[in-house]
Amino acid sequence: MKKLFALVLSLALMLSLFGMAASAEGFSGDVKIWVADNMVELTRAKAEEFKAAHPEYANMNVLIEAVGEGDSATNMITDVEGGADIFGFAQDQLARLVAAGALVELSPENAEIVKAENDGGSVAAVTLGDVLYAYPMTSDNGYFLNYDKSVITDPSTLEGVLDQAHAAGKKVYFQINNGWYQTAFFFGTGATVTYDVDNAGNLVKANINYASPEGVAALKGMINLAKHPAFVNGSDAPSASNYAAIVVGTWNRETIAAEFGENYAATKLPTFTVDGVTYQLSGFGGFKMLGVKPQVDDAKLAAVDALALYLAGEEVQQARYEQSGWGPSNLKVQQSEAVKADFVLSALAEQLNFALGQGQYPNDYWSTAQGLGDDVIAGKFNDYTDEQLMEELVKFQDILISLANPQ
Amino acid sequence: MADLHYLSLSKGQRFLHRLSRSIRQLPGRLAQGVKSLALAVARIFVGIGRDLADLATTFLQGDWKTKTSYFIMGFGSIARGQVLRGLLFFLFQVVFLLYMLFFGGAYLAKWGTLGDVETTRVGRRTVYGDNSFLILLYGVLTLFFVLAFLYTWRANVKQNKIAEQILKSGKKLKSGKQDVAALADNQFHKTLLALPTMGIFLFTVVPIVFMILVAFTNYDYTHQPPGKLFTWVGLDNFRTMLSAGSANYGSTFSQVLLWTLIWAFFATFLNYFLGMLVAIMINKKGIRLKKMWRTILVMTIAIPQFVSLLYVSKMFAADGIINSYLMQWGWISKPLPFWQDPIWARVTIIVINIWIGIPYMMLIATGILMNIPADLYESARIDGANAVQMYGKITLPYMLFVTGPYLLTSFIGNINNFNVIFLLSGGGPMSMELGGNAGYTDLLITWLYKMTVNNTDYKMAAVIGIIVFVVTAVINVVVYNAIPSVKNEEDFQ
């Protein structure tokens, strides 16, 4: 039995070695692509168009699987060899993927094209150190205020939005126990957290000033929000109920449009006031991107590079916007009439003026931030003095600093 | 405590007495265990020494056929006419040598470092270096193979010695035909057990050994094969898990462990007593529609647990149906923090678990209650006992005696009750006080899951796995020795 096992294993190893040898011109093997569920059909159609336009890849077998941007990074890291050759993911996963050896850097030619065709924020988002690791696909991973204009007539202040919703017996959704939405408060008051990343995806240094008067003001803003009877912690429109306003990105626009109907409106996030000072809510501006897995075969790498460049290019970004309203990162698509006239994307663009481009964060940042948010919602800090709040923020800051590993 | 004093205690007190005695004896038992372990190790070394001596004398006193067999396995057997045996020995040696030469040897050679060739880029093409994961896995397999080889080689030498003795005494050796026939006769157990043993070895033993070894490496997402190497780090991970300090998991670990034990206690005993109570109530004479009540309760079993749990989890959410209605009726102004506040979340989980657990216990209790002889109750009633006394003196002791092992297994099961916790709260709420992605309702097992799936932190997950084993093993040993079903009254001395 053991002998048989060993024999099978060694045979498999030899087969995989032979499998690596392939033809130099063109490519005709399998290429696996992971995209979000609602992009599977579109990607399949576009991949066929690509094959039609490039005869040398006509025999390439493109397999498209539905793996959401949220899961793909974890799946890739768990099993790089079994993972997709091209996969979509959100930019917060970039450093993690690079550190795990699941991304190959862009070829110099493709890097030039990407830099020339996409907006600056999205290019910065795919760059670690000075190396480009992925193809920007969207420039819409931000959040803004979606509201019912029949209930909320003045969406300019957070307090106003909450009171107007409460007066109508409705709720306001804002997921403050999430490191992504939480930054709206901290960045709004001027507290920031970023990490320096080296070319290999290691987070080498934390730049953070949460333990500051600004941080305390932000935390108090969150506590005030959590105390309000109209507040509900959450950002998932499909599972929300009875809401008049929800802070979320473009991906829930269809659900929200169905809920609000004619009265659907969107605008930048409101302001909030702490101790007489008014701050504009800020937050992360984010991007979705396509990554390419390291390849052991030059011919396949060339094919996958070309396909990824195409799938992240102008034509497919336009198609994505038309089908599902994904905000483009491509400069030409951004200038198209349809995109400019879209009130949801306009609201996003307006909010992005106040937002910071999202860099790389360690995995534990998100759980630590959730811990802080959960503590706020649980009312742990409700009776705290400023000094006590500062102590909590020092603790929070120390954890975030400890997450960086100086090399 | 004197026997008389012990016998004067009530059953419950006796159990507690035995439990505390069993815990008090634990250090002594442990010391005894260590002692017997040391003795066993010593015995193994003595055995090995004796075996080596035997090998030497067999070699010196054996004939040339025996001597050759030391180097060419099965030679002696073939030379003495036992061709089938000899060929099998020889074949095993050939396969082993080929395996080591072309496959296992390379992996075993790198086992000390788990690989040292880094993955590199040639142009933009990736050339993968050593794969630490495969080196660890195949290294383990190869080690087992080497042990099997040594065992077989020893058996081969022993065969020669026995064959020599048999020939010397003038008897004949078994032929190949007789050997094969024996496999269906007095060696039949080997034929039957060959496949199951192999299966258990490959699918249970090897993965367990592999997982235990991972706890001593730095295998996590920054050391992810095939792109990156990982290597041995000794006991570092255990130090991180158990020692205090902000960079370590010590305080988080003790918090999670404590909640795991509290949860297991309530989940087991609340369900046990409430389930029994419900069964007694339904069993009571004069209760109508017994079957209907039972059916209603059993309905919760009929619905898949993950469906009902996910649904209930949504019901209790801040924006869930329960909070919405309570607010609509004006009973509360803010959502109740069922999943946001640590204490609320823990109580909610325990209460919801009662709803899930009662039907199972009710079914078990119903069967056992019907088995208690009715004349016991009758004579108790004639003696003037009330319902509480009858429960304490007849029902409970009987139940505890029969369901002791069930209680123990369900306690251990609850320590590892992944479903209820994960589907209801997902381990949350989280807090800055806790490290490693753990939440206030995380059990060790759900924490392990989060470490593996969300954080790709296999090394720490493996450490938790080992700790879960230790915790459950200790509880098992202590409680098992104290339950009445095992330590019966008569055995008490």
Range of weakest confidence among A28-42, B15-29, B137-151 = B15-29
Tell me if A296 and B126 make a contact (CB, 8 A cut-off): yes
Helix, strand, or coil (residue A85): coil
pLDDT digits (tens, 9 = 90+) for A177-202: 888 999 999 999 989 898 888 877 78
- From the list A283, A193, A277, A176, the residue with the least C-alpha distance to A231 is A176
SS3 A245: strand
CATH number assigned to the domain covering A2-139+286-345:
3.40.190.10
| Shortest distance, CA A353 to any CA of chain B (angstroms) | 31
Of A77, A301, A372, the CB nearest to B224: A77
A301:B431 CB<8 A: no
Joined tokens for residue B26: 């634990």
Distance in angstroms (rounded) separating the CA atoms of residues B288 and A371: 51
Q: How many residues does chain A have?
A: 407
**A358–chain B nearest CA distance, Å:** 20
- CA–chain centroid gap for B30, Å, is 20
Contact A239 B319 (CB under 8 A): yes
pLDDT at A24 over 60: no
pLDDT value of position B197: 93
CA distance A92 to A90: 6
> Which of residues 330 through 359 in chain A touch B, CB cutoff 8 A?
none
Chain B residue nearest residue A9, CA to CA: B103
Residue B145 with chain A: CB contacts under 8 Å? 2, 6
CA distance A48 to chain B (A): 26
Contact across the interface for B437 and A1, Cβ inside 8 Å:
no
Interchain CB distance below 8 Å, B246 and A398? yes
* Chain A CB within 8 Å of residue B456 CB: yes
The residue of chain B nearest to residue A293, with distances taken between CA atoms, is: B126
B74-83, B95-104, B481-490: least confident range: B481-490
Q: Would an 8 Å CB–CB cutoff place A232 in contact with chain B?
A: yes
CA triple B57-B59-B60, angle to 5 deg:
65
Q: How far apart are CA B117 and CA B131, in angstroms?
A: 9
pLDDT tens by residue, A266-320: 999 999 999 999 999 998 888 889 999 999 888 899 999 999 999 999 999 999 9
Interface of B with A in 36-75 (CB under 8 A): none
The answer to whether residue B226 neighbours chain A at the CB level (below 8 Å) is yes
Mutate to test the interface with B, among A105, A199, A374, A401 (most CBs of B within 10 A): A374
CA distance B448 to chain A (A): 15
Which ranges of A171-233 does DSSP label H, i.e. alpha helix? Answer: 179-189, 213-227
- In this structure, are strands A284-285 and A131-132 parallel, antiparallel, or unpaired? unpaired
- Which residues are within 8 A (CB) of A39 and not within 5 positions of it... i.e. 6 or more apart? A88, A320, A323, A324
Contact yes or no for B314 and A239 at CB 8 A = yes
Q: Report pLDDT for A10.
A: 53
Best interface-test mutation with B: which of A2, A7, A71, A96 has the largest number of B CBs within 10 A?
A: A2
In eight-state DSSP terms, residue A173 is E
Show residues of chain A in contact with B341, CB under 8 Å: 378-379
> CA–CA distance from B199 to each of B145, B206, B213 (Å)?
15, 10, 21
**Per-residue pLDDT, B246:** 67
Q: Nearest CA of chain A to the CA of B309: how many Å?
A: 16
Report the residue of A364, A367, A403 to disrupt the B interface, i.e. the one with the largest count of B CBs within 10 Å. A367
Is B453's Cβ below 8 Å from some Cβ in A?
A: yes
ipTM score: 0.70
Write the pLDDT tens digit of every residue in A356-402.
Answer: 878 788 878 888 898 899 889 888 888 899 999 999 999 889 888 88
- Residue A145's pLDDT band (cuts 50, 70, 90): very high
CB contact under 8 A, A105 and B221: no
The secondary structure element, H or E, covering residue B392 is: none
Residue B172 pLDDT class (50, 70, 90 cuts): confident
Query: Nearest CA to CA, how far is A268 from chain B (Å)?
Result: 24
pTM of the prediction? 0.78
Confidence check: pLDDT of B317 > 80: yes
Across B440-463, average pLDDT = 90
> Mean pLDDT over all residues of chain B?
86
Q: Does B324 contact A242 at a Cβ distance shorter than 8 Å?
A: yes
Whether residue B126 and residue A104 make contact (CB cut-off 8 A), yes or no, is yes
Q: Taking residues B488-493, what's their average pLDDT?
A: 46
From the list A233, A298, A396, which residue is nearest B432 (CB)? A396
pLDDT recorded at residue A406: 63
Cα distance from B126 to chain A (closest Cα, Å)?
Answer: 5
> pLDDT-based confidence at A79, cuts 50/70/90?
confident
CB pair distance less than 8 Å for A392 and B428: no
- DSSP letters for B80-92: TT-HHHHHHHHHH
| Interface contact A101-B227, CB threshold 8 A | yes
- pLDDT exceeds 70 at position B128: yes
Start and end residues for every CATH 3.40.190.10 domain found in chain A: 2-139+286-345, 144-282+362-402
Q: Looking at the partner chain, which of A105, A173, A374 has a beta carbon nearest the beta carbon of B428?
A: A374
pLDDT at A117 over 70: yes
Of the candidates A9, A101, A301, the beta carbon closest to that of B119 is on: A101
- CA-based nearest residue in chain B for residue A377: B340
User: Least CB-CB distance to B102: which of A10, A107, A301?
Assistant: A10
Q: Chain B contact for A3, CB < 8 A?
A: yes
Pair B427, B421: CB distance under 8 Å: yes
Q: CB distance B432–A371 less than 8 Å? A: yes
A9 and B432 within 8 Å at the Cβ level: the answer is no
In chain A, residues 248-307 whose CB comes closer than 8 Å to chain B: 294-298, 301
Q: Taking CB atoms and an 8 Å cutoff, what residues of chain B touch A372?
A: 432
pLDDT band at A1 (very low <50, low <70, confident <90, very high): very low
Please say whether the beta carbons of A312 and A328 come within 8 A. no
Distance, in Å, from the CA atom of B213 to the CA atom of A340, rounded to the nearest integer, reads 57
* Interface contact B324, partner A, CB < 8 A: yes
Give residue A396's identity as a one-letter amino acid code: F
- pLDDT-derived band at B487, boundaries 50, 70, 90: low
pLDDT (average), residues A74-102 = 87
CATH code of the domain made up of A144-282+362-402: 3.40.190.10
**Of the partner residues A6, A371, A402, the one whose CB lies closest to the CB of residue B434:** A371
Chain B residue numbers touching A301 (CB-CB < 8 A):
124-125
CA distances from A182 to A176, A372, A374, B181, B273 (A): 5, 9, 11, 76, 45
DSSP characters over B426-488 = TT--B-TT--TT-BTT--HHHHHHHHHHTS--HHHHHHHHHHHHHHHHHHHHHHHTTSTTTS-
Taking alpha carbons only, the member of A351, A214, A210, A369 closest to residue A281 is: A351
Taking CA–CA distances from B126, the nearest residue in chain A reads A296
Question: Which tokens sit at B243?
Answer: 């020692």
**Adjacent-strand bridge partners of B121:** B126
Q: How far is CA A29 from the centre of its chain?
A: 31
Q: Per the CB < 8 Å rule, is A99 touching B333?
A: no
Mean pLDDT (whole number) for A90-119: 89
Nearest to A1 among B198, B224, B225 (CB): B198
Any CB–CB contact under 8 A between A379 and chain B? Answer: yes
The residue of chain B with its CA nearest to that of A366 is: B437
Q: Which residues lie closer than 8 Å to B417 by C-beta, 6 or more apart?
A: B263, B264, B267, B443, B445
Collect all residues of chain A within an 8 Å Cβ-Cβ radius of residue B437.
364, 367
User: Are the Cβ atoms of A377 and B432 closer than 8 angstroms?
Assistant: no
In this predicted model, what pLDDT tens digit does every residue of B181-204 receive, in sequence order?
Answer: 888 888 888 889 999 999 999 899
Chain A interface test: which of B221, B223, B229 (most A C-beta within 10 Å): B221
- Cβ-proximal residues to B111 (8 Å cutoff; 6+ apart), any chain: B135, B136, B139, B143
Tell me which chain B residue has its CA closest to the CA of residue A178: B430
